[in-house]
Copies of this chain bind each other. A is one copy, B any other.
Amino acid sequence: MKALKLNQTNHPFVLSEVEAPSPFGKNKVVSIKAAALNHRDLWIQQGQYAGIKTPIILGSDGAGIWNRKKVIILPSLNWSQQSPFPPKNFKILGLPDDGTFAEKVLVPEKNIFPMPKHLSFAQAAALPLAGLTAYRVLFSRCQLKKKDSVLISGIGGGVALMAFQFAVANGNEVWVTSSSKTKIKKAIQLGAKGGILYSDGDWHKKLLKKAGGFDVIIDSAAGDGFGQLIKVANSGARIGIYGGTRGKMNGIIPQMVFWKQLSILGSTMGSRQEFAKMLQFVQKYKIVPVIDQVYKLKDGNKAFQKMASGKQFGKLVLEMKGA
């Protein structure tokens, strides 16, 4: 089969002919029709991840055919029930085990779910990791209620956009931040109440003036700007954090944290149970993940260049057709 192999970190992926996996026991082989990129894959390529081994086929997201049915793959391995944190043997598909950037992938049968009927393979492939992470941080961790006002920082990334779409579908008033006016405009077209450029000085003051405070804030930047998020949080707010692209969180005023009784809640991935709930939610509201661009498998490196540029709005998808 064709696969996009990472032979060593800090090198391009190589489209290679490799031996296809064989099913054994409760592990089944899904024929991948489309896969999607996650930042995790980029970090692994760049050597910035724990437990890297090469050569490896990366990819946590995939949709395809198994048992003559259209299926979608849950990338959380060995995490069944919703719980405060994953079990010790928890893994993510695509390291250490080979992932979805290939024509076939071996996964446990319980990680195979029927594909939502309203989605194409490319759209379905865009859903699993981002949708699961967004669902857990928003609903399980931040306990999103109908009346909560929501802020999603750094709109454009996969999880941020899914969290955004989920909150909009849920009926919440949702605001976004970005460093790009174009991304803010796109978010408004998708149902955002408004947005603010975080590259503006004193953006948090402007945002407070325009939008008031927020009950739920979803962030993946961390860094020095995290202290500003604390300032736009309402009393009792839950701030979900699932990433740290801007490094250490600094400048958090503790008096704001305790007087406003804030909750800062780390979250990543989710359990099988949360994945099932997420799929139900996506089906109920006919949510279609936002795709930035679809590439052929052989053009995988172009997709990674786009991700590294940070210019994408939505998921970057690889299609296997004619790989």
Which A residues lie at the B interface, using CB under 8 A?
83-86, 141, 222-223, 226-227, 235-236, 241-244, 247-268
Task: Using known A-B contacts A85-B236, A236-B84, determine if residue A261 contacts B254 with beta carbons closer than 8 Å.
Answer: no
Which residues of chain B come closer than 8 Å to A258, judged between CB atoms? Answer: 241-244, 266-268
CB of A323 to closest CB in B, whole Å: 33
Q: A245: nearest residue on chain B (CB-CB)?
A: B254
CB of A213 to closest CB in B, whole Å: 12
Task: Using known A-B contacts A263-B265, A267-B258, determine if residue A248 contacts B250 with beta carbons closer than 8 Å.
Answer: yes
Which residues of chain B come closer than 8 Å to A223, judged between CB atoms? Answer: 254
Chain copies in complex: 2
State in angstroms the CA–CA spacing of A252 and B223 once bound together: 9
Q: Is A260 a contact of B251 with CB atoms below 8 Å?
A: no
Q: Is A254 a contact of B244 with CB atoms below 8 Å?
A: yes
State in angstroms the CA–CA spacing of A42 and B38 once bound together: 51
A-B contact pairs, 17 of them (CB 8 A): A86-B235, A222-B252, A241-B254, A241-B258, A242-B258, A244-B258, A247-B254, A248-B251, A250-B250, A250-B252, A257-B266, A258-B266, A258-B268, A261-B267, A262-B266, A263-B265, A263-B266
State in angstroms the CA–CA spacing of A261 and B226 once bound together: 17
Which of B241, B244, B248, B260 touches A266 (beta carbons < 8 Å)? B260
CB of A244 to closest CB in B, whole Å: 3
Which residues of chain B come closer than 8 Å to A262, judged between CB atoms? Answer: 265-266
State in angstroms the CA–CA spacing of A253 and B250 once bound together: 9
Q: A136: nearest residue on chain B (CB-CB)?
A: B261
CB of A307 to closest CB in B, whole Å: 19
Q: Is B84 a contact of A261 with CB atoms below 8 Å?
A: yes
Task: Using known A-B contacts A85-B235, A248-B227, determine if residue A254 contacts B243 with beta carbons closer than 8 Å.
Answer: yes
Q: A257: nearest residue on chain B (CB-CB)?
A: B266
State in angstroms the CA–CA spacing of A83 and B266 once bound together: 22
CB of A225 to closest CB in B, whole Å: 12
4 shortest interchain CB distances as A-B pairs: A244-B254, A222-B254, A84-B236, A257-B266
CB of A299 to closest CB in B, whole Å: 30
Which residues of chain B come closer than 8 Å to A244, judged between CB atoms? Answer: 253-255, 257-258
Which residues of chain B come closer than 8 Å to A268, judged between CB atoms? Answer: 258-259, 261
Q: A86-B261, A263-B266 are in contact. List 13 more A-B contacts (CB 8 A).
A: A84-B235, A86-B235, A226-B254, A241-B254, A244-B253, A248-B252, A248-B253, A249-B250, A249-B253, A249-B254, A257-B266, A259-B266, A263-B263
Q: A256: nearest residue on chain B (CB-CB)?
A: B266
Which residues of chain B come closer than 8 Å to A85, judged between CB atoms? Answer: 235-236, 260-261
State in angstroms the CA–CA spacing of A172 and B220 once bound together: 34
Which residues of chain B come closer than 8 Å to A222, judged between CB atoms? Answer: 252, 254, 257
CB of A30 to closest CB in B, whole Å: 27
Q: Is B267 a contact of A241 with CB atoms below 8 Å?
A: no
State in angstroms the CA–CA spacing of A256 and B242 once bound together: 10
CB of A57 to closest CB in B, whole Å: 23
